[in-house]
Chain A
Amino acid sequence: MAVVRLRAPLSELAGGKRELELKGTTVREVLQDLERRHPDVRGWILDERGSIREHINVFVNTEHGREDTAVAAGDRLHVLPAISGG
């Protein structure tokens, strides 16, 4: 299991949980497990095509991850809004 850390508003959509243990061997699989357990998150991190939204960053431990980045048991995934916007 990987550990996924969320901030508001995502944590609110995940039942108020800021940290969750989730299954998956890639970033996409872990985030899809998050959507299965907490359907309100669907569409907020991954778009309808299964891609991480352009202005969302997912870090696997300290490295920037993409959809296919491998995830091992005990890895920590941080889902953060990018430093962008206006």
Chain B
Amino acid sequence: MTQLLVGTKKGLFVLEGEPGAAFEVTSRHFAGEPVEFATRDARNGRTLACVTSAFYGPKVFYTDDLSAEWQQASGVELPEDAEKSLERLWTIVPAEDEGHLYAGGAPGVLFESHDSGETWELNKAFWEQPTRSEWSPGAGGMCMHSIATWPGDPSRVALAISAVGVWLTEDGGDTWRNGNENLYPRYMPEEAREDTLTLCVHNMHRAPKQPERLFMQFHGGVYRSDDSGESWTSIADGLPSDFGFPMVIDPDDPDSAYVIPLVADMDRTTPEGKVRVYETRDAGASWTPRGEGLPQDDAYLTILRQAFGADGSGPSMGLYFGATSGDVFGSGDAGKSWFTAATKLPPVHSVRAA
């Protein structure tokens, strides 16, 4: 039995089923509220959700039992003298130490919890970055959406923000520096590209078995880094488009990545009306389209950056993604074939297998 946590514009939906057939909606939480992201911490079974009420602001909730009440986490806020209030939480990621979690949000902020998500504290070193006043948001806000920990080494973390590029720490978050070499922001004037911080990363993942390797979906570009995020090499050749939002990897295969290309920034839909996931197993040297079982006629879907999740590894890895159309698709064989897991949900913001 696979359980999916599907964050939508109108609540969190929990789906259950076996790969290959439609999943059942087993519960709905935060009805009517935008749930940007939800995940399960595999270390203790706790479910955490980022809920951004249009009225009451962004909150993090947690529960150890989906049939029980959710608790609101504390400390998810900016300093009182901040120019802006906290806008949204985009991701929650387990860190290397027991009970340690990271959360990323807008405007370009990192929070940490050391009690499994009950209380949070702003990472001050990142908040006080001297260049912060020069940072620019992407269309979805200045969202910190990707937090890549380093297996076995809690001191090393890579962050990515739209549109403030990649940030690296090697001292557990006390100091931060950029890791943007060779990223090519073609949306900037030519003469401004070299030194700009306006680098619109859409997604970034580290290969756990080879942690100096990262993969990135950029705002026009797909990249790989083999030096821990210091510099980047384009691996977009072979894709129908280098634009898109989500990305997943097979955690046991450092040469693997999956993306879902969209036409372009001016047309954020699946190309040619066909829904296709593209897979590489050679670190981006080649890409294979994976569309068997996915809509291939008049299907103009938009898949958002957190709406693609994976489960397990290897040939039986589960892959699940949802679209703003409210459809959720799944694969139980690492993308070789696909099935429709759910339809008619509200616009899907995030999908994670629990």
Chain A positions within 8 Å of B, measured between CB atoms, are 9-10, 40, 43-45, 47-51, 53, 55-56, 81-82, 84-86
Residues of A within 8 Å of B57, CB to CB, are 43-44, 47, 53
The residue that A55 contacts in the complex, of B55, B82, B85, with Cβ under 8 A, is: B55
Q: Closest residue of chain B to A40, judged by CB?
A: B72
Complex interface: chain A residues within 8 A of B342 (CB): none
A47-B85, A48-B86 known; A53+B80 contact, CB < 8 A: no
Contact A48 B85 (CB under 8 A): yes
Contact of B78 among A10, A48, A55, A56 (CB under 8 A): A48
C-alpha gap A81/B55 in the complex (Å)? 6
> Quick one: closest B residue to A47, CB to CB?
B85
Q: How large is the interface on B (under 10, 10 to 19, 20 to 34, 35 or more residues)?
A: 10 to 19
B77 at the interface (CB under 8 A from A): yes
Q: Please determine whether B54 and A44 come into contact, CB atoms closer than 8 angstroms.
A: no
Q: Measured between alpha carbons, how far is A44 from B59 in the docked complex, in Å?
A: 9
B55's partner among A40, A51, A56 (CB-CB below 8 A) is A56
* Residues of chain A lying within 8 A (CB to CB) of residue B78: 48-49
Please give the distance in Å from A83's CB to the nearest CB on chain B: 11
* Residues in chain B near residue A55, CB distance under 8 A: 54-55
A55 CA / B100 CA spacing, docked (Å): 33
A34 to B203, CA, bound (A): 41
A7, B286: Cα distance in complex, Å: 56
Residues of B within 8 A of A53 (CB): 55-57, 85
A82 and B77 form a contact (CB under 8 A): no
Cβ contact within 8 Å between B54 and A48: no
Task: Known pairs A49-B85, A53-B57; list 17 more (Cβ under 8 Å).
Answer: A9-B56, A40-B72, A43-B56, A43-B57, A43-B59, A43-B77, A44-B56, A44-B57, A45-B56, A47-B57, A47-B77, A48-B80, A53-B85, A55-B54, A82-B55, A86-B9, A86-B54
Report chain A residues within 8 Å CB of B273.
Answer: none
Give the 5 A-B residue pairs with the shortest CB-CB distance, closest first.
A47-B85, A48-B77, A81-B55, A44-B56, A85-B54
B56 touches A48 (CB 8 A): no
CA distance A47 to B57 in the complex (A): 8
Selected A-B contacts with CB under 8 Å, 20 pairs: A9-B56, A43-B56, A43-B59, A44-B57, A45-B56, A47-B77, A47-B85, A47-B86, A48-B78, A48-B80, A48-B86, A49-B78, A51-B85, A53-B85, A81-B55, A84-B54, A85-B54, A85-B55, A86-B9, A86-B54
